[in-house]
A and B are shown apart, each in its own frame.
Chain A
Amino acid sequence: MQLSTVQADAIQELGNIGAAHAATTLSQMLGSTIEMRVPEVKVVDLARLGEYMGEESAAMVAFELQGEIPHGGYILFYITRESAIRLTNTMLGQTEMNRPLNEMDESALLEVGNIMVSAFLDATAELLGFVMLPSPPALTIDMAHAAMQSLIAVMNGETNEVLLFSTELVCEEHKIDSDIILMPETNTLQKIVEKLENIMNGN
């Protein structure tokens, strides 16, 4: 999977727009400012996935990309355990940090993930002119590498690489750190790149 500079830039721009909309919704939910870091586009060899996600336990709300391209890949809301606790606490006006993640946290994560990912995909749909619909969310709180690997395993097995597009969204005030990670299937990626090239060529 080779991305030209032009293609990588185009995807970065797409992600910028999507993540900015997701950041806005998060900001509204927390009643606080969200900083968006520069989105990263990485093509990662499967054997090297461990360099990006390890054994650390994190909460991941995953959505399959559906719609015009069925089985188009996945998009995830990724947040560490500690940030997840802070997130629920902020939303519910609680302060207790020394506690395990419970059903309230899981509900909050599903809801927040849903809202942010929907905002991301709505914004990108407008730009691209085709729709990526999210499936209902699925949550896991476990080793990041194990979760990602499980999703990659049911994607196109022909390739030995995965494209990870991630944007970090940070709430300094409440010390909440999260990521939106887009993992498009090769066919989705192709369609995205084609559309963006058309747009950039003034079509």
Chain B
Amino acid sequence: MIGIGEYRVGSFPMMTIGLGSCIGLTMYDPTHKVGAMVHIMLPESANRTDRPGKYADTAVPLLVNELVAVGCKNRSIIAKMTGGACMFEYFGTNLNIGLRNAEKVRQMLKEYHIHLAAEDVGGKFGRSVTFLPDRDGSVSVRRADGTSSNL
């Protein structure tokens, strides 16, 4: 179970629950059958060095470096992202942090030449995500009403 600001790297099932404005980002290398997942809360770290998984601008390089360290190549990595919702519309009108998170992740992925294969972002609802790098790197997204879909 990956909490806010946490990440995991490996070939085992990974999960994170209750993504509101946060982004659940997965990266998968099918040739090595290894993956990484992180639960990002904010777009910018503003030079903070603790909890790199919490910020999009430090989380993306973190995951890429971890995967490269075990032999993956940037061009083989498949990224998918989920979340970035605005759950309390009334409070969100000015900041919309969810969409800012998504935008920052997209920008960082581009910077690191990582292909973003799919995304399920925005809306006003929460999501939980399960990632299976041990099988086929599939990412499934579940909503509060119990419905789920594959990304």
Q: Is A136 an interface residue (CB 8 A)?
A: yes
Q: Is B109 an interface residue (CB 8 A)?
A: no
- A81–B88 CA distance with the chains assembled, in angstroms: 18
B94 to A, closest residue via Cβ: A154
Interface string of B51-88 (1 = CB under 8 A from A): 10010000000000000000000000000000001111
Count of chain A residues with a beta carbon within 8 Å of a chain B beta carbon: 34
With contacts A57-B144, A146-B20 taken as known, whether A138 is within 8 angstroms of B6 at the C-beta atoms is no
**6 A-B pairs with least C-beta separation:** A145-B18, A146-B126, A47-B3, A143-B126, A146-B20, A150-B20
Q: Is A50 an interface residue (CB 8 A)?
A: yes
Interface hub of A54, A143, A147, A157 (most chain B Cβ within 10 A)? A143
A154 touches B128 (CB 8 A): no
B88 touches A143 (CB 8 A): no
Contact among B4, B88, B145 with A46 in the assembled complex (CB-CB below 8 Å) = B4
- A144–B19 CA distance with the chains assembled, in angstroms: 10
B91 to A, closest residue via Cβ: A138
B6 touches A47 (CB 8 A): yes
Interface hub of B5, B41, B89 (most chain A Cβ within 10 A)? B41
16 A-B pairs in the complex with CB atoms less than 8 angstroms apart: A47-B6, A49-B4, A50-B1, A50-B3, A53-B18, A57-B144, A137-B90, A138-B90, A140-B87, A143-B17, A143-B126, A146-B127, A149-B20, A152-B41, A154-B21, A157-B41
Shortest Cβ gap from B47 to chain A (Å) = 12
Q: Is B124 an interface residue (CB 8 A)?
A: yes
B3 touches A49 (CB 8 A): yes
Contact among A53, A142, A153 with B41 in the assembled complex (CB-CB below 8 Å) = A153
B90 touches A147 (CB 8 A): no
B4 touches A47 (CB 8 A): yes
Q: Chain B residues near A48 (CB, 8 Å)? A: 3
With contacts A54-B18, A146-B19, A149-B41 taken as known, whether A46 is within 8 angstroms of B87 at the C-beta atoms is no
Interface string of B7-36 (1 = CB under 8 A from A): 000000000011111100000000000000
Contact residues of A between 62 and 101, Cβ < 8 Å to B: 62, 64
B21 touches A143 (CB 8 A): no
Shortest Cβ gap from A133 to chain B (Å) = 15
- A49–B5 CA distance with the chains assembled, in angstroms: 11
Q: Is B50 an interface residue (CB 8 A)?
A: yes
Q: Chain A residues near B121 (CB, 8 Å)? A: none
With contacts A48-B3, A57-B145, A160-B50 taken as known, whether A140 is within 8 angstroms of B88 at the C-beta atoms is yes
- A37–B21 CA distance with the chains assembled, in angstroms: 31
With contacts A50-B1, A50-B3, A142-B144 taken as known, whether A64 is within 8 angstroms of B17 at the C-beta atoms is no
Q: Chain B residues near A115 (CB, 8 Å)? A: none
Q: Chain B residues near A136 (CB, 8 Å)? A: 90
Q: Is A172 an interface residue (CB 8 A)?
A: no
Q: Is A55 an interface residue (CB 8 A)?
A: yes
Q: Chain B residues near A135 (CB, 8 Å)? A: 90-91
Q: Is B133 an interface residue (CB 8 A)?
A: no
With contacts A144-B18, A153-B97 taken as known, whether A160 is within 8 angstroms of B5 at the C-beta atoms is yes
Contact residues of B between 96 and 151, Cβ < 8 Å to A: 97-98, 124-128, 142, 144-145
- A62–B90 CA distance with the chains assembled, in angstroms: 10
Shortest Cβ gap from B46 to chain A (Å) = 8
